[in-house]
Structure 1
Amino acid sequence: MPKPLTNAVRRVLQGIWRSRHSWPDRLNAVADGLLSRAPDRVLRGLDRAVLGGGARIPGPAQAPDTDIRLYVAPANFAGQGGQWARAVSRHVPGAGAVSMGFQGAGAFGFRADYPVDKDVYLYSGSWQRRQLRAVSRGFTHVLIEAERPLFGTFLGSVEREVAALARSGVRAAFVCHGTDIRLPSRHARTNPFSPYRDGLLAQTPELERRARENRRVLDRCGLPVFVSTPDLLLDVAQGLWLPVVVDLERWKRSNPALTGPRPVVVHIPSKAIIKGTDLVDPILTALHDDGLIDYRRVEGVPSGDMPELYGSADIVVDQFRIGSYGVAACEALASGRLVVSDVSEQVRAEVEAATGLALPIVQATAAELAEAIRRVVADPGHYRQVAEAGPRFVGEVHDGRYSARILAAHFLSTGA
């Protein structure tokens, strides 16, 4: 068969597989039966047809030898699936955890215990069936990230997966990461700087549709729900905050912030529209041109280079459209840098109510940023103390112990 035709057929097969979530229940049931009973050689043949034979198909995930065996999958966004899994293994007695993450082009190198090629995750029937069996038989709990299916297209939907796991005695819960559940229409109503206003983000209609559908999935499943950042509690009222986790030792720096004559200000727009780079970049550039700061806008930095980058800065300017804080801010706090960002009163109140600690991020909207920076330059001693509170805060809230306690109390314990 000519190669273009082979590729065209492969794309058709992939499209059919991707559309399983929209198939009628009766058709999905027939597909489930055929896939579950098909000989391995048949599934391997389908793999070759759909994947082209080039992808490496790993063996199934191995469960830990513990009483409680947690499987965290399938996204590992910002490395958080892996971090939550390690937190459970380290801090929950009698528990072990394994993280899985699908990986493809453009990944930033976040480590999962069990990485799987994205096309294998989506289209390999042999991997999907073996993985379903391994999780059903080997694990006691699964934490499903971002409402995404654990086994690609194999059962057609995450709801069907939850039902299949429940029949095997495996308990499930969801953890929402951000855009999977944040409702753009709600955010735009309550935040004047929302990236979902005024056509700033072309994907807004699709994000709205997806968030609404994911919310319906959560409601229909009726399982425990966790959220990675406190602002998401506005979208998932029944949710529990599961703080993101960073490795404090990896980010620890020996040089204190704000000791030089001209502070180095770093802004790292991983997603420029979401971060509000269009709002703050002209302001910081003007302050740089006035000689007040040394401004550095940095993009496309691999995860492994970030600790050194933060260590070279005095001030990290984070985000000005979402109203929350996440992994990047926690990493900067752990580095002892002064973080300036627009964090809503709701988020600050949730953090303090849950932990008893004030969030040590200097508050500023984009309109207030220039004046906030000028105050820092005028009183570096005071703001150095604020920066020094960052590692202590991360050590109490974001080093994994707090998150492990939340999972143990509300999901992993036998009485939860």
Structure 2
Amino acid sequence: MRAAVRVAVDHLPERLAVRLRPRRYRYNLADVPPPPPRFAEPTRVLIGATNYAAQGYLLARALDQLDGVAAVNVHQLPAGDRFHFPADIAVSGDIVRLSSHWRRRQFAAIASNYTHVMVESGRPLFGTLFDLDVQREIEALRERGVAVAHLAHGSDLRSPRIHQEFSRFSPFRDDDWDARGALQAGADRYAHLITATGGPVFVTTPDLLRDQPDAHWMPVMVDPERWVATEQPLVRARPVVLHAPTNPRIKGTHLIEPTLWRMHEAGLIDYRPVSGVPASDMPALVRSADIVIDQVRLGIYSVAAVEAMAAGRVVIADLHEDVVARIAAATGRKPPIVSCAADALEETLAWLRNDRAAAQKCTEDGPAYVRAVHDGTFSARVVADAFLSRSD
């Protein structure tokens, strides 16, 4: 009898079922966001739905600055979201999974009201509406006249098989890392999706051009004003060294922390590890530092490095030569970052600590570089040229 009642309730309109079976649906109707709005501009862009490091949101703001363009981002929130990145439309995982009304309404609004969609990380936009099949989603949107492009952010597309050929410190050389196989399988699936569906591909880190040579580098974005610092760095006897990895293994935390703690205990630096901090708290933490260590394994620099450059801090990252060359070719600039391999960190920190004039010089070009490459203007132009201006 109970099973029959549950089935009957699930066939009721959602507004009734949610109230009668709250344990099953796990969300309130008031939390279901409205569908994305219809804009008056002729070019209307939707970006979704991972919003890693607020990149979907910041890209939407950058595209808004283009003539005749309006953009919105959708963020499907992961379980236990700790970072609380800003988003135009945020929707919980429970709603995505369980609300058939949300799924149908979301697709209808996007297919009817938007001219362009950028699918992030090869993830579904509409829950189970198309059985989690992103290729079917893309085909359905295109059948309704919507142009679709791909937007990759890093580990979603980065092939461990390819990356480990470029660095002896590549995390994908770690034999004890069980996730390598899953990451390779995920990257292979994403590459297959891109091949199967076609359309422009944008990548936010230039190393991904190894995986997709025909892709367009669209630099990661920050709001420079949030990171402006008035405090002069490197005036303390013990420089404050900040390291805030989102993924310690990928960033190489275990390779550098023995050095950092040893120098900390010797009174040479003030090492401050950071993890799980909401995005809103990071500007103050970065401004409180003198040196920010981004990563020593990937050969690139991340959003965290851009934020530290915007604050005029010394940034340390291990940069691969081909990455620097690609950036210089695209922008006419080289990133003002102290490139350092994991086994050279102690020597590099000692140099920065002892030669303050040279260390200060490392901070001078950061804010200008960020405004030229990472404030969204450059990225919006890349998307406009390679996607929004296309007639197909």
Report the residue type matching 1:205 in the other structure. G
> Alpha carbons of 1:353 and 1:48: their partners in 2 closer, same or farther (altered >3 Å)?
farther
Q: Give matches, 1:37-186, under 5 Å.
A: 41=13, 52-55=24-27, 56-90=31-65, 92-103=66-77, 104-156=79-131, 157-186=133-162
Aligned counterpart in structure 1 of residue 376 of structure 2, from 400, 405, 409? 400
- Partner of residue 366, structure 1: 342
- Partner of residue 279, structure 2: 303
Distance across 1 between alignment mates of 2:320 and 2:280: 30
Structure 2: segments with no counterpart, 5+ residues: none
Distance across 1 between alignment mates of 2:213 and 2:316: 28
1:189 partner SS: coil
Asked whether the equivalents of residues 47 and 123 of structure 1 are also in contact (C-alpha less than 8 Å), the reply is no
- Partner of residue 192, structure 1: 168
Aligned counterpart in structure 1 of residue 209 of structure 2, from 211, 228, 233? 233
Asked whether the equivalents of residues 43 and 125 of structure 1 are also in contact (C-alpha less than 8 Å), the reply is no
Asked whether the equivalents of residues 51 and 124 of structure 1 are also in contact (C-alpha less than 8 Å), the reply is no
Structure 1: segments with no counterpart, 5+ residues: 14-38
Asked whether the equivalents of residues 256 and 345 of structure 2 are also in contact (C-alpha less than 8 Å), the reply is yes
- Partner of residue 329, structure 2: 353
Aligned counterpart in structure 2 of residue 285 of structure 1, from 236, 240, 261? 261
1:227-269, Cα deviation, whole Å (9 max, x unpaired)? 0100111111111101111010001001121122221111112
Report the residue type matching 1:120 in the other structure. I
Distance across 2 between alignment mates of 1:46 and 1:183: 42
TM-score by length of 1: 0.87
State the percentage of identical aligned residues: 40
Distance across 1 between alignment mates of 2:212 and 2:233: 37
Distance across 2 between alignment mates of 1:97 and 1:395: 21
Distance across 2 between alignment mates of 1:51 and 1:154: 22
- Partner of residue 237, structure 2: 261
1:333-378, Cα deviation, whole Å (9 max, x unpaired)? 1111000111111111111110001111101101111111111112
> What count of residue pairs does the alignment treat as equivalent?
384
Runs of 4+ in 1 over 4 A off after TM superposition: 42-51
Greater mean alpha carbon deviation, residues 340-349 or residues 53-62: 53-62
2:61 partner SS: helix
Shift of 1:301: 1.5
Shift of 1:152: 1.3
Shift of 1:395: 0.4
> Alpha carbons of 1:45 and 1:361: their partners in 2 closer, same or farther (altered >3 Å)?
same
Distance across 2 between alignment mates of 1:208 and 1:44: 43
Asked whether the equivalents of residues 122 and 151 of structure 1 are also in contact (C-alpha less than 8 Å), the reply is no
Asked whether the equivalents of residues 334 and 390 of structure 1 are also in contact (C-alpha less than 8 Å), the reply is yes
Distance across 2 between alignment mates of 1:240 and 1:44: 47
Shift of 1:44: 7.4
Asked whether the equivalents of residues 173 and 224 of structure 1 are also in contact (C-alpha less than 8 Å), the reply is yes
Distance across 2 between alignment mates of 1:248 and 1:134: 33
Shift of 1:43: 9.9
> Alpha carbons of 1:289 and 1:2: their partners in 2 closer, same or farther (altered >3 Å)?
farther
Distance across 2 between alignment mates of 1:108 and 1:62: 25
1:196 partner SS: helix
Distance across 2 between alignment mates of 1:134 and 1:100: 13
Please report the RMSD computed on the Cα atoms of aligned residues, expressed in angstroms. 2.3
TM-score by length of 2: 0.93
Shift of 1:41: 3.0
Distance across 2 between alignment mates of 1:107 and 1:314: 26
Distance across 2 between alignment mates of 1:164 and 1:51: 33
Asked whether the equivalents of residues 69 and 96 of structure 1 are also in contact (C-alpha less than 8 Å), the reply is yes
Distance across 2 between alignment mates of 1:351 and 1:371: 27
Asked whether the equivalents of residues 51 and 123 of structure 1 are also in contact (C-alpha less than 8 Å), the reply is no
Asked whether the equivalents of residues 45 and 118 of structure 2 are also in contact (C-alpha less than 8 Å), the reply is yes
Shift of 1:140: 0.5
1:43-88, Cα deviation, whole Å (9 max, x unpaired)? 9759987972331322211132211100000111111100001100
